[in-house]
Amino acid sequence: MKSANKFITIPQAILLAFAVTSLAASEKAPNWAYEGATGPQNWGELSADFNLCRQGRNQSPINIQKTIDAELPELVFEYYSSPLRQINNGHTIQQNIEPGSTLKIPSRDGSYELKQFHFHSPSEHTINGKFYPMEVHFVHANAEGALAVVGVMFEEGNENSELSKLWSFMPKNAGDTSEQAIGIEETNLLPPTREYYYYSGSLTTPPCSEGVSWVVLKTPVQASAAQISQFKERMGQATNRPVQAHNARIILN
Ligand SMILES: [Zn+2]
C-alpha cells in the first residue's frame, strides 16, 4: 500500500502545479465558460473583478413573471444599415455596429447608441418559465456610459433574412472575425410591435456589472430551425447564464 500512496502523491503535485499556473494566467485575463469549472456557478471566484457575479443583488438574466402594469415610455429604434463586421469571441457571435444607430426614449430625453448585438442559445431570459431557442441582445450606451440592453426572443419559424446574411459569414473559431461589404439591417431583427418588459439588471457575462437597463420585447421574431442549430453547433455548447434571483426588484410591463 506504500507504493499506492506514492502514485496518489505524484498526480496531486501535478494538479497543484497546474492550478497555480491557471491562477497566474487568470489574473491577467480571467477566462470563463458556460460549463465546467469556469462555468456560471464559479464565475464569482475566477477573479476579484467578477465579484458581482456571486454577490450582486441585481443580476441578469431573470425569469420574467409577476410583472407590474406601468405606463412604460415609448421606445424609438433608429437603427441604420451597418456593414457586416462579426467576431466569434468564443462565447458568442457578435456584430459590431458603426456609430449612428440609436435607441431613443423621447419622453425622457434618453438616447442610447447601439454598439453591438450578439446571440445566446437557448434564451437567457425566460418568460413565465418558458425558454426560447435563441435570444439576441442589442447593447447600447448613452453619453454617460450607462448601458441599456434590448433582448429579443427568437421562435422557430421562417428563415430570418438578416441571420441568413450574418450566418453565411459566421466566423469559425474563437478569435476569428469576418468583415464583408454587406449591409445588415438591424431593424429586421426587431418585431413589428415594440411592447416590452423593463427591469434593472446586469451584464449576463463576467464581470456581471450592474446598473444595466433591461428591455425585453414581448413579441418574438422568427428564425428557421436550421438557423438556430447553425449558431448552436458553432458555439458547441449552451450559451445562456442560468436565471438569477429577483431579490427586491420589480419588473414593469
Ligand atoms: Zn448577451
Query: pLDDT tens across 192-225, in order?
Result: 999 999 999 999 999 999 999 999 999 999 999 9
Q: Taking residues 240-249, report their average pLDDT.
A: 96
Q: How far apart are CA 206 and CA 4, in angstroms?
A: 42
What is the 6 CA–ligand 1 centroid distance (Å)? 47
Q: Taking residues 15-39, report their average pLDDT.
A: 62
- pLDDT of 172 > 60? The answer is yes
CB 185 within 8 A of CB 118: no
3.40.309.10, 1.10.3720.10, 3.10.200.10, 3.40.50.720: CATH of 35-235: 3.10.200.10
What is the 63 CA–ligand 1 centroid distance (Å)? 15
Return mean pLDDT, the chain. Answer: 90
Using DSSP's 3-state secondary structure scheme, residue 252 falls into strand
Residue 106 CA to its chain's centroid (Å): 26
**Is the model's pTM score more than 0.75?**
yes
Q: Taking residues 33-55, report their average pLDDT.
A: 96
- pLDDT of 18 > 60? The answer is no
Q: Kind and range of the H or E element at 151?
A: strand 147-156
CB 88 within 8 A of CB 97: no
Judged by phi (left if over 0) then psi (alpha if -120 to 50, else beta), residue 227 lies in alpha
> How many other CB atoms sit within 10 Å of the CB of residue 51?
15
What is the 5 CA–ligand 1 centroid distance (Å)? 47
What is the 118 CA–ligand 1 centroid distance (Å)? 6
Residues assigned a catalytic role: 91
**Quick one: cell of 68?**
407590474
What is the 208 CA–ligand 1 centroid distance (Å)? 11
CB 227 within 8 A of CB 167: yes
9-13, 24-28, 190-194: which is most confident: 190-194
Supply the pLDDT for residue 108: 85
Q: Taking residues 150-179, report their average pLDDT.
A: 97
If you compute the radius of gyration of the chain from its CA atoms, what whole number of angstroms results?
20
- Percentage helix, strand, coil, to 5, in the chain? 30, 30, 40
**Quick one: cell of 238?**
449552451
Q: Where are the domains of the chain?
A: 1-30, 35-235
Supply the pLDDT for residue 27: 43
What is the 17 CA–ligand 1 centroid distance (Å)? 34
Sole residue written with cell 406601468: 70
Confidence category of residue 12, pLDDT binned at 50, 70, 90:
very low
Confidence category of residue 109, pLDDT binned at 50, 70, 90:
confident
CB 197 within 8 A of CB 64: yes
Peptide bond into 61 cis (omega under 30): yes
What is the 16 CA–ligand 1 centroid distance (Å)? 34
68 vs 3 pLDDT, higher one: 68
252 DSSP β-pair partners: 68, 198
- The widest CA-to-CA distance across the chain, in whole angstroms, is 77
Supply the pLDDT for residue 29: 52
Going by their DSSP bridges, the two strands 177-184 and 126-127 should be labelled as unpaired
Sole residue written with cell 469571441: 89
